[in-house]
Structure 1
Amino acid sequence: MIFIKLVWRSLIFIFWLIILFSIKISANNTIVLLYHKFGDQRTPSTNIDLNIFKEQMLYLKKHGYKVISLKQLINTIEKNKSLPSKSVVITIDDGYKSVYFNAFPILREYGYPFTVFLSTKAIEKKYPDYLSWKEIKIMKKVGADFQDHSYAHYALGIIPNHMKEDEYREWIIEDLKKSRAVFKHYLGYEPLYLAFPYGYYNKILISEALKLGHKALLTQDPGVVSEDTPLTLIPREAILGKEWSTMKHFRYILERKDLPIIEHYPEIGFLKKNPPFEIWAKIKYPKRYVKESFGIYISELGWRKAKFDENSKKVFIKSIPFLKRKINRIAITAKEKDGKEAVNFWMIILP
């Protein structure tokens, strides 16, 4: 009788191990924050009020969030290790002077690491609103990280109307090579990470950036980083403007989770068929989610209730109208069984 009970308990234990493995409940997530300007009311759409920024940095400390460097995040994913729980990465695009005069003293006070993606032409040409090399080197000396945001800040993810594909590739290469040369000349190294200008990307741009030596690429797609996130499409949560810089929005995005996807249609980048016959995504861990909660978002069309097929593990919608907007973001959303919202975004572009 005792033997039977032991066998039965062992079988139950093995059963729950299998369930936990298939759901992968314990996976940690990291939020990558994206800022631009600090306390600069001239451009409210890309600015955050300085008092709100201070409040956000204090919130991270008071609520036990661990601010890690972008390098640590990328190395952890590369080595297939677990991400730290409640972790956050701080990134800043363009390299405006308000980074040095307004954000840097606050970040230094808390000891938070941060990465600035530099638009190198603006800095090399000494545009008035941009950082100087002296300011960059002062921040770098105390641990700030500087990476690539392209040379001229062109919308590299969109093919100009007059260009053929080979010309387009050369245009990308020329710009990114210039930027890498500027880094080498002024800072003594070539950048490892690229944040896509305007957040626009496609497969051609990704391919050329990797060939030149960038080992991680960052978008402006909303979302959360997990161990399943590809290093070529790291999402970032933009904290700017009237709505997206508020504490309400800040607390909301910190609670979201990644929704890992195996494959999806349409693919990233240029849309091959308009309208697409359907939009779908194959979910990697379907048992994590309340199946009735799946939704699909398209920028141009808004949110739609999605269907979930148990056999194929696909979430999908059909009857898509002709798309007119040049850039659309698509998102898959769902509620995890613990109530947390999970998301996964990608971008499509009309050719």
Structure 2
Amino acid sequence: MKAIPSVIRSPLMTGLLLTVSLPAAADLAVLQYHHVSDDTPAATSTTPALFDQQLELIDTLSLPVEPLRTATEHALSGQMGADPAVAITFDDAYTSVYTTAAPKLLERDWPFTVFVNTDAINEGRHDYMTWDQLKELASHPQVTIANHSADHGHLVRKLDESEEHWQQRAAASLDQAQSTLASKLGTDAPLFAYPYGEFDENLEALIQARDWYGYGQHSGAVGESSGATRLPRFPMANAYGQMEGLKDKLLSRALPVDANTLPDGRLPENPPTLALDLPESLRASALTCFGSGVGQLDVEPTGNGNRVTITADQPFNSRRFRYNCTYPAGEGRYYWQSVQWLDRSQPED
């Protein structure tokens, strides 16, 4: 297995890169889907008609669709070249991916990744693929089958859970799924999608120890400043994947802020404060941030270099919510940065 490039493991090196220059002009937009259907829950579904329009726009923009692993490696190491790229992913291995989405992508010869929670397949749950269907997909060189945990549980340590119990529980879910995928499909991809997009620094450490890339559900592009165990993806369900904003997402760039300086998302206080250390070439006044369900947030310079702080003016009452920030990057493109916050005191899904 190819090791994660050392350049993204060193906070010092990353910081030096950011003070010398901005990242290369091209970054990677990773798209995240669940169902592609008219008949499944709206919150996690993309209609087939919208899916077709999204693919057509990728075609119209002449954006290359790349395998997730190699595109991630290239984006993190600054080897993307001049053109932005797209990677396509599906979480949970729902039947509609096999019946509706996969044929459309294979017809275009576009690569894609399916993240599988293996217990659902073992138990033959309704609306999930079978092992035979996954094996058929895996026979195509364009398709990667990867790890989404065994049980799709909330893998961040619970407030009332001991460190020892959490270590055993989380490691078992990660490793059992990887072992099952290897035995059933002969695949051992070093790619992991966090269930519900939830992670913290302790869970990230388990992913890094296995030399895996970790993908969340917070929006943004993958670039040189991104963290290998907290990689963003753009959710493409009906509520988030509409066409009027899709071009901006496909052409987005990673906001050049060192991922090592960002919080891991565990809620320290409610509402939380996000601090960003912007490069000297970016002006704090041009940064625009929004909070989930609360609208635009105030961006306050701190008087300490180019640091800004962002805080909502009211607390949140959901388990997960996001601060999303964008900055004009020129040529009609935007830098994009999202942080997902996790309130472990709120009920699990």
Post-superposition Cα deviations, 1:246-272, rounded to whole Å, max 9, x if no partner, equal 222322322332212136877213234
Q: What residue in structure 2 maps to residue 151 of structure 1?
A: 150
**CA positional deviation for 1:273:** 4.7
Alpha carbons 2:219, 2:324 under 8 Å: kept: no
Q: What residue in structure 1 maps to residue 22 of structure 2?
A: 24
Secondary structure in 2 matching 1:101: helix
Specify the structure having the higher radius of gyration (Cα): 1
Q: What residue in structure 2 maps to residue 4 of structure 1?
A: none
Q: Answer yes or no: is 1:345 the counterpart of 2:338.
A: yes
Alpha carbons 1:274, 1:323 under 8 Å: kept: yes
Q: What residue in structure 2 maps to residue 303 of structure 1?
A: 296
Overall identity of the aligned pairs, in %: 22
Alpha carbons 2:222, 2:254 under 8 Å: kept: yes
Whole-angstrom distance in 2 between the partners of 1:252 and 1:38: 22
**CA positional deviation for 1:322:** 5.3
Structure richer in helix, relative to its length: 1
Superposed, 1:90-169 pairs within 5 Å as 90-143=88-141, 144-157=143-156, 159-169=157-167
Q: What residue in structure 2 maps to residue 255 of structure 1?
A: 251
Higher relative contact order (CA 8 A, sep 6+): 2
Alpha carbons 2:207, 2:229 under 8 Å: kept: no
**CA positional deviation for 1:338:** 4.6
Q: Answer yes or no: is 1:282 the counterpart of 2:277.
A: yes
Number of aligned residue pairs: give it. Answer: 325
Aligned-CA RMSD value: 2.6
Alpha carbons 1:223, 1:237 under 8 Å: kept: yes
1:263–1:224 distance in 2 versus 1, CA, 3 Å: closer
Alpha carbons 2:220, 2:234 under 8 Å: kept: yes
1:339–1:142 distance in 2 versus 1, CA, 3 Å: closer
Whole-angstrom distance in 2 between the partners of 1:286 and 1:67: 33
Whole-angstrom distance in 1 between the partners of 2:121 and 2:342: 30
Post-superposition Cα deviations, 1:201-237, rounded to whole Å, max 9, x if no partner, equal 11111112222x2420000001111122121111000
Gaps in structure 2 of 5+ consecutive residues:
1-18, 345-349
Alpha carbons 1:27, 1:226 under 8 Å: kept: no
In structure 2, give the amino acid aligned to 1:153: H
Secondary structure in 2 matching 1:279: strand
Secondary structure in 2 matching 1:331: strand
Secondary structure in 2 matching 1:306: strand
Q: Answer yes or no: is 1:70 the counterpart of 2:65.
A: no
Q: What residue in structure 1 maps to residue 326 of structure 2?
A: 333
- TM-score (normalised: structure 1): 0.83
- TM-score (normalised: structure 2): 0.84
Gaps in structure 1 of 5+ consecutive residues:
1-20
Alpha carbons 2:207, 2:213 under 8 Å: kept: no
Q: Answer yes or no: is 1:190 the counterpart of 2:183.
A: no
Q: What residue in structure 2 maps to residue 312 of structure 1?
A: 305
Alpha carbons 1:81, 1:227 under 8 Å: kept: no
Alpha carbons 2:326, 2:335 under 8 Å: kept: yes
**CA positional deviation for 1:135:** 1.2
